[in-house]
Every structure is written in C-alpha cells, then in structure tokens.
C-alpha cells in the first residue's frame, strides 16, 4: 500500500497535557507528524487538533485506533478522505530594498497574499492557503532573501454539512 | 453515562464513609478507596504524602502494607490484582518515590493489569520550580499508563478516584495514576462521593459486530485445521468457562500464550501448550499448519509470532479482543471481533458447532506423543525442570505460582501444569526481573487461604530481596523458591547459542548465601543440592506455616528447549540434546 498524506481532525478534552498525550503517542508509535495545530473548537471545553501525517491505509487505521485509546480523545476523523478545505498561514520576512519592492509586491499580489509590514530594508508577507500555495509563495520569495519564516501548520475542515 | 455500584460491601462502613463531612483531601482519598472496595494498599511514605499517611494513622478500616522499596509495593499491588481480579493500589511519595514505580507501571501496562497508583507531589504552588523531590510523574508515565490525573482542586479528588477505578478495571485493563500535590491532600472540602461516571472519550466496546460473529462461525464450519490462540485477555475477562465451552462445542485444539496459561485447563486433551520462542513443538507446528487461527485476547506478541512474515502462513486469522487497536496491529486479520472476550464467546457459543477437525486432531495428538517437553534427567545433578515438576506434583497443580523472568520462568511455564485462571502470575510483556517475589506477596495478601509459591532465579531474587522483611514481619506464608544456577541463565543461553559462547558479564559469583539472607530477615532458609535434599527441603517448606525460602542449587548448564532464535519462523525450533 502506498504511503500518502492524510489530514486528521481530532476532537479532544481541553485538559492540560492533552497535546503531550497525542504528540507523544505519535512519537513512540513511530507515526509521522508533518504538521500539528491545536485550538479551541465550537464547544466549550473541547479543542480540535489537526495533524497532517503520512502513511498507508494500515498505518492510518492504527493511528486512529491508538488515538481512540487516549481517554481525552473524543473523535478522530481522517478528513482528507472527504472533500475538505485546508488552510495554512505563513509570515515571510524578505529582504526588500526600496528599489526591488515593486517587483516583490507584484509577486505577492499575484498570489493574493498581503504585505503586513514594511521595514527600512524588508517587508513582511502574509500568505494564507493550502500548503502547496504557501510552499510556492516561499519558493518565489527565496531569490530575494528570506530573513525569517514562520508557518502555523494546517487548519482544515470537511466541506458542506 | 453509566451508574456504577460502589464496591464497599460492609453496610455499616458504607454509611460511615458516605457521611457528608468537611474533611481533608487525604481523608477523601482514604474514604474513596474504601468505597471502591480496596482492602489492601501497598506503599511507602515520604514528604509529599505525609498528610495521607497521617490520615492512615489510626484508621481502623484502612489496611496498608509497608514494603521496603516502592518497586516492591507496585509489584505486590500487581500480584494482588492479577491473582484476585480486583484493582491493585499502591502509594508512593513524589520524585524518587514516584520514579521508583516506573518499572512496575510499565509492567502492568504491558500486561493489562488494573492498578490505581497514588503518588504525592510537591505543593501545587511549587510545581514546575524544580522543588525538592519534584518529578513530573504524569509526564514521565504518560506512555505507560492507561490514563493519569494531576489533581488541581481537592473538590475533584473523589470524582477522580472513582473515574480512575472505572478506567483501570474496564475495557482493556491497565494502570491509572493519580498525582496529588501535598497541599491538595491537606485542603478541606465537603465529601461527596458521586457514583455517576461520565467520561465522554471513554466507552469501551463490549459487544461485537454480529456480522463478524457470523463470519467467524462460517470460518469454523469451513476449516479443516483450526486452532485457538488464547491469551491473557481470556483470564482478565474471566472467560475461562466460555472458552472451555467453545472448545468443547467446536473441538478446536487450543494453545495458551504465556499470559493465557490457566485460561484453559492443561489437563484437557485439546490443549497443545504454549507457543513461541520456548513454546511446545506441537503448538508451534499447529500455528504454522493451521488454516484458521482464532486469536482470543492475545496480542500476537513477537515472542509468540517470532518472524511475522512467516507466521501462520496458511491461516485465515480471526481475532477476538476488547482493544480494537490490537486487531490488525501485528498480523493481517480477516475476521475482527472487537468486544469483551467473555461476551463475544457467549455469543459465539450460542451457535457454535463441531469443526471438521478429526484428522487434524489426530495429527496433533501424534505430534504431542512424539515431541513432548523433555529434559535429560540424571541422579548426579539437580535439574531445574525436576524441581518445577516436583513442586507441581506435591501441590497437585493447585498453588498460585508467581515467577520472575528468565530460564526458571520458562521452565515453570512448561513444567507446572495449570488448570485454573489467576494461578499463574508472571511478567510477560515487559519481562521485568524483580517482579516475581513481591508479586507473590501481593497474591498472598489477596488470597490468604491459598498456597502461593514464588519461583525465582538467583538474579531476579536479588532485585527485590529486601521484601523478605515484610514476609517475616507479617508472617506472609509465601514459599520462595530460588532456582540457583549461579548465572544469568537466559542471557547465558543466548550468549551460548547466538553469540558463540562469548559469555559476557553473566557470572553471578558473589551472590549472597540465600539461606543466610533469608535468615537475616527472619525467614526460614533451606538448601538443596540433589533430588533427595530437594524433596526433603520442599516437604519441610510445605510443613512450615510461615514464609520459607528454599535455595535449589541446580545444574548450571541447563538450557530451555525448544528454542526459536529471533529471525526464525516458529517452526524452526532447536530441540536440544535431551
């Protein structure tokens, strides 16, 4: 079976240590974590984690079953098995002498990204989109000299009701 | 939401405990434990649990046994739990007290033993400051507990204790840790023991998918060479009668794993023995030749499957287990039956019919006759297998036997024949040396009227030997057997067979005189170096009402056979020269 990328949504009790319980489970069972995000969910006291991982069907099944063994885990869904919306945010600070700025702004606008800060020698770009879009934006900005890069990891949701 | 009946059976005590008094966290803890039906706690005090021990002082209802090491306490709680089926409880202080429990927690986790472990911690205001004797024990033990709690408010304590017992003792059982900061054990609040349990993320599957049960029945109907692999889950679920009924109805030959021993009577003709690395010839051959393998409460450990790629190559695999994560974890499973083993077997038994397995049974019976467990006995040396056989014979197979880990453990598994569940107590998954003797103390506390025999090697005996003290002080009548070959036997065996006789650091010269060691603690000590002495010493031990240690000096070079080397399939067995 082929190892493919999966986006898993995990609803958890918002207890201290719950992130550690989930992350350490991935670590000790040899599951991969490409990205992990945690935040409040629509329900008071519950958080939602989105973990992007790589594995074949058998591994995915084990990940899901092992996650369910964690008492604070309430629901596990492989949302990449469904039509979904996946978003990531990145902030990219890039070298930008005034002379080169129009060129950079052109690239940024093409990607529907935004400039969120301008310094004497740099500008900060905010890009929101799926991971491929963020990756492409970073690649295009690299030639100008990326000073600092920060990415949030993936937030994702199944489309429709 | 489920309502559980509190387990305290004494009505007068129950009424007393349920008084709505304003009391300290420590008193809440004790009341809660008593309401859960706890009749014996193993522990070791220290700074962070002083309030708790202060509450224990003079409490006539609370039975606490002071071990000499926290490791002794948790293994004793483990032996108590395995032998009684109840939840074992131990208490330790913060920092080193708590970290001394780690091996015992991992042992219980690997073997699915229900424990509630109470640790103290530093004041909640000091947590995270590297305070004296502070350790993040919930963090340290996260991978080896079923669940854990750090109590942050005394008002939550009784609910947490109730939840902990529920989680430890339901579904796939396991250890649950409750870490209580010192100030929480001192704070006061009104005692209110609510017996409502509502844990949203925890709802173990009890009943299986009926379609899968039908598929299992059909597979049995179609099979020519079916075999059952019964594991510890049968014992833990209390499903031995259902398994016996299942086997009686279907005529399927049955193998019991190391932890499944006792889950099926060894006196039954259809029993093939233990599988795996030191399994019987017939059990291993049966696994390799079967066309239907029904795993019941067994997790296909690598000591059973050996080389997974070549394991049960012709078999359709069915797997009955309460833990869905075990299904398909190691071997591809055609028929998963997730649910409580007892309930699943009850359902299966309603429609189970005899399998077409006559020829298969004949074949296996021939094999059993041709390749029994055997060893070369002589009158010059005392053979360890002889000692085990002698113990089996004189106790008529009715003792509770605990073992440590190593060659003696395998010989005990091979040569002591069990017909009852919860009579065989051994560390399977983690293979913890030092486990056997304190576990025997726990087993004896839980079964005061039964004979408890603790079989140890000379290596493992030295890992928790200090617990001889509690045997002496409380006159706990465990019969402590040391199979003494003056060497780390199993390691020697591997170095001999796999590492070309390069014996590296296995010589246990310098071990204490075990007879004198026992006597130093006030336990009767005996020694035997040949068969005659062995019989005499054992008889004397049996005739002595209190604890006795018998040091059996056995043949040093004896090895455990059959043996399958790692990397081989389970039918590639070394049979030894016996």
**What is the pLDDT at residue B537?**
98
CA distance B178 to B119: 6
Please list the alpha-helical segments (H only) found in B498-566.
514-521, 531-543
What stretches of B74-215 adopt beta strand conformation (E)?
88-92, 115-121, 147-150, 175-181, 188-190, 196-197
Q: What is the pLDDT of residues B376-420, one digit of tens each?
A: 998 889 999 999 999 999 999 999 999 999 999 999 999 999 999
**What is the pLDDT at residue A51?**
97
Catalytic residue selected from B18, B62, B133, B307: B133
Q: Which residues of chain A lie closer than 8 angstroms to B328, CB-CB?
A: 58, 61-62
Residue B445 has φ and ψ, to the nearest 5°, of -65, -35
* Bridge partner residues of B52 (DSSP): none
CA-based R_g, chain A, Å: 19
Q: What is the pLDDT of residues A1-57, one digit of tens each?
A: 688 999 999 999 999 899 999 999 999 999 999 999 999 999 999 999 999 999 999
Q: Which residues of chain B lie closer than 8 angstroms to A70, CB-CB?
A: 201
Known active-site residue B70:
yes
DSSP state of B507: B
What stretches of B391-468 adopt beta strand conformation (E)?
400-403, 424-425, 452-457
CA distance B78 to A115: 62
Residue B196 has φ and ψ, to the nearest 5°, of -85, 135
Using omega within 30 degrees of 0 as the cis cutoff, is the peptide bond preceding B318 cis? no
Q: Which residues of chain A lie closer than 8 angstroms to B323, CB-CB?
A: 69
Length of chain A equals 161
Known active-site residue B133:
yes
Q: What is the pLDDT of residues B108-140, one digit of tens each?
A: 999 999 999 999 999 999 999 999 999 999 999
Check: CB of residue B176 under 8 Å from CB of residue B146. Answer: yes
Mapped onto helix, strand or coil, the DSSP state of residue B10 is coil
Q: Which of A12, A16, A71 sits opposite B202 (nearest CB)?
A: A71
Q: Which residues of chain B lie closer than 8 angstroms to A23, CB-CB?
A: none
Check: CB of residue B62 under 8 Å from CB of residue B34. Answer: yes
**What is the pLDDT at residue B378?**
86
CA distance A65 to chain B (A): 5
Q: Which of A25, A62, A71 sits opposite B201 (nearest CB)?
A: A71
Check: CB of residue B382 under 8 Å from CB of residue B553. Answer: yes
Q: For chain B, which residues score pLDDT lower than 70?
A: 1-9, 578
Note whether A29 contacts B: Cβ–Cβ < 8 A: no
Token pair in block for residue B436? 């056997």
CA distance B559 to B279: 14
Token pair in block for residue B418? 């069990």
**What is the pLDDT at residue B196?**
85
CA distance B441 to B468: 9
Interfacial residues of B (vs A; Cβ cutoff 8 Å): 138-139, 142-143, 146-147, 150, 167, 172, 199-202, 323-325, 327-329
* Bridge partner residues of B342 (DSSP): none
> Hey, are the CB atoms on A65 and B138 less than 8 Å from each other?
no
CA distance B401 to B422: 9
Known active-site residue B490:
yes
Say how many Å lie between the first and final Cα of chain A, rounded: 31
Reference B387, options B535, B540, B557, B561; nearest CA is: B535
Q: For the beta carbon of residue B422, count every other beta carbon within 10 angstroms.
A: 21
Q: What is the pLDDT of residues A49-107, one digit of tens each?
A: 999 999 999 999 999 999 999 999 999 999 999 999 999 999 999 999 999 999 999 99
Reference B315, options B219, B240, B236, B393; nearest CA is: B219
Known active-site residue B486:
no
Q: Which of A58, A65, A74 sits opposite B201 (nearest CB)?
A: A74
Answering whether pTM is above 0.90, one says yes
CA distance B62 to B14: 13
Check: CB of residue A6 under 8 Å from CB of residue A52. Answer: yes
Contacts (Cβ under 8 Å, ≥6 apart) of B66: B43, B44, B45, B470
CA distance B151 to chain A (A): 11
Catalytic residue selected from B27, B36, B42, B70: B70
Note whether A16 contacts B: Cβ–Cβ < 8 A: yes
CA distance B511 to B459: 8
CA–CA–CA angle B392, B86, B178 (5° rounding): 130
Check: CB of residue B471 under 8 Å from CB of residue B523. Answer: yes
Burial of B518 (0-12, 13-18, 19+ CB in 10 A): buried
């Amino acid at each position: 079976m082929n190892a493919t990328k999966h986006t898993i949504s995990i609803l958890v009790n918002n207890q201290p240590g719950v992130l550690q319980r989930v992350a350490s489970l991935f670590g000790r069972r040899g599951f991969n974590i490409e990205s992990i995000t945690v935040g409040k969910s629509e329900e008071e006291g519950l958080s939602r984690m989105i973990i992007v991982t790589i594995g074949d069907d058998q591994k995915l099944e084990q990940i899901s079953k092992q996650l369910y063994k964690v008492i604070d885990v309430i629901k596990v869904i492989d949302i990449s098995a469904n039509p979904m919306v996946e978003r990531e945010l990145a902030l990219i600070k890039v070298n930008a002498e005034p002379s080169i700025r129009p060129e950079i702004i052109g690239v940024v606008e093409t990607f529907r990204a935004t400039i969120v800060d301008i310094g004497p020698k740099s500008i900060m770009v905010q890009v929101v989109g799926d991971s491929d879009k963020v990756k492409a934006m970073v690649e295009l900005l690299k030639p100008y000299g990326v000073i600092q890069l920060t990415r949030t990891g993936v937030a994702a949701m199944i489309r429709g009701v | 939401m489920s309502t559980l009946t509190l387990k305290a059976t004494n009505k007068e005590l129950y009424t007393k405990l349920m008084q709505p008094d304003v009391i300290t966290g420590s008193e809440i803890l004790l009341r809660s434990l008593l309401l859960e039906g706890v009749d014996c706690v193993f522990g070791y005090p220290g700074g962070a649990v002083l309030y708790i021990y202060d509450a224990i002082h003079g409490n006539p209802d609370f039975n606490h046994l002071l071990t000499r090491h926290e490791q002794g306490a948790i293994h004793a709680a483990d032996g108590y739990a395995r032998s009684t089926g109840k939840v074992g409880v131990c208490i330790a202080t913060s920092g080193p007290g708590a970290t001394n429990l780690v091996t015992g927690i991992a042992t219980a986790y690997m073997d699915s033993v229900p424990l509630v472990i109470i640790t103290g911690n530093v004041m909640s205001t000091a947590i995270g400051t590297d305070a004296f004797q502070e350790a993040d024990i919930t963090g340290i033990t996260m991978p080896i507990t079923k669940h854990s709690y750090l109590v942050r408010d005394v008002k939550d304590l009784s609910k947490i204790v109730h939840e902990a017992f529920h989680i430890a003792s339901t579904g796939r059982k396991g250890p649950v840790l409750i870490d209580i900061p010192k100030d929480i054990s001192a704070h006061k609040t009104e005692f209110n023991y609510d017996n409502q349990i509502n844990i949203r993320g925890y709802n173990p599957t009890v009943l299986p998918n009926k379609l899968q049960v039908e598929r299992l029945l059909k597979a049995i109907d179609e099979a020519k060479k079916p075999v059952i692999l019964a594991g510890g889950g049968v014992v833990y679920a209390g499903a031995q009668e259902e398994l016996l009924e299942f086997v009686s109805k279907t005529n399927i030959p049955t193998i019991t794993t190391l932890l499944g021993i006792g889950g099926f009577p060894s006196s039954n003709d259809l029993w093939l023995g233990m599988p795996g690395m030191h399994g019987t010839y017939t059990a291993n051959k049966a696994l390799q030749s079967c066309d239907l393998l029904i795993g019941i409460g067994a997790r296909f450990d690598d000591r059973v499957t050996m080389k997974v790629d070549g394991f049960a190559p012709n078999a359709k695999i069915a797997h009955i287990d309460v833990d869905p994560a075990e299904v398909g974890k190691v071997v591809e499973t055609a028929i998963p039956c997730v649910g409580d083993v007892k309930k699943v077997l009850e359902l299966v038994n309603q429609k189970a019919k005899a399998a077409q397995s006559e020829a298969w049974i004949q074949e296996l019976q021939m094999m059993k006759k041709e390749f029994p467990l055997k060893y070369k006995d002589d009158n010059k040396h005392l053979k360890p297998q002889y000692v085990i056989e002698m113990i089996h014979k004189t106790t008529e197979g009715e003792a509770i036997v605990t073992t440590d880990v190593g060659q003696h453990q395998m010989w005990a598994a091979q040569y002591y024949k069990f017909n009852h569940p919860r009579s065989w107590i051994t560390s399977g998954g983690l293979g913890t040396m030092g486990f056997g003797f304190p576990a025997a103390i726990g087993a004896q506390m839980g079964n005061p009227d039964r004979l408890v025999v603790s079989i140890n090697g000379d290596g493992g005996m030295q890992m928790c030997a200090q617990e001889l003290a509690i045997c002496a002080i409380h006159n706990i009548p465990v019969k402590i057997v040391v199979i003494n070959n003056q060497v780390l036997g199993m390691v020697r065996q591997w170095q001999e067979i796999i590492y070309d006789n390069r014996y590296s650091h296995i010589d246990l010269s310098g071990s204490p005189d075990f007879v004198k060691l026992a006597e130093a603690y006030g336990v009767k000590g005996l020694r035997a170096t040949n068969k005659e002495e062995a019989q005499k010493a054992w008889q004397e031990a049996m005739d002595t009402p209190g604890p006795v240690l018998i040091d059996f000096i056995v043949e040093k070079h004896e090895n455990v056979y059959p043996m399958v080397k790692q990397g081989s399939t389970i039918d590639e067995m070394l049979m030894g020269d016996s």
